[in-house]
Amino acid sequence: MKKVLITGIVASGKTTLAKRLSETIKIPWYELDSIVHHQTETGRYKRTADEQIEVIMNIDKNGAWIFEGTDRKSYRCLFEMADTIIFLDTPLWKRIIRILTRFLKQNLGIEKCNYKPDIKMLKSMYKWTRDFEKNREDFESRLQLYKDKVIRLSDNNDLNFLTNSHHL
């Protein structure tokens, strides 16, 4: 397990799992949202698909990595590049609660974020969740292409796959 892609929909626990896994197996992790939406001194801008791939390829040159993010066409090359794909398939009810909890924490200044945590963003997160569930079959069929390297988790606290995995 040297190149790990953690994927799932909004509020599935990808970042938490990536941090925990990174600490456990001593491999750096990267948030794909930060690669897509690059922060500069003048603000945040969206990189083109080619720019995203260039950043990913530069990180890949350094060896081992963990990338975490939602499924985007612009970086689906990671499904091929990864030796392990973790699909964090957290129950819908839990994601719905997490989205609202995250929104409240961000607005109270308890949790930081790289975007404006307003009602528009809250609605977007719920829309992305609905869209994912509506198009789940498409995602699952793409995932099936890599079934030999996929680990499906329903809980981001579950690191048991590290001791039970043929991916190590």
pLDDT digits (tens, 9 = 90+) for 141-162: 999 999 999 999 988 777 777 6
Across 121-148, b (16+ Cβ under 10 Å) vs e yields ebeebbeebeebeeeeeebeeebeeeee
Is CATH 3.40.50.300 correct for 3-164? yes
Q: Give CA–CA dist 47/144, Å, rounded.
A: 29
* Mean pLDDT to the nearest integer, 37-44: 85
pLDDT at position 168 is 46
Residue 49 or 39, more confident: 49
Task: Show me where the domains of the chain are located.
Answer: 3-164
* Mean pLDDT to the nearest integer, 109-131: 91
pLDDT at position 167 is 47
pLDDT at position 163 is 62
pLDDT digits (tens, 9 = 90+) for 78-117: 999 999 999 999 999 999 999 999 999 999 999 888 788 9
pLDDT at position 42 is 86
What's the pTM value of the predicted model, to 2 decimals? 0.88
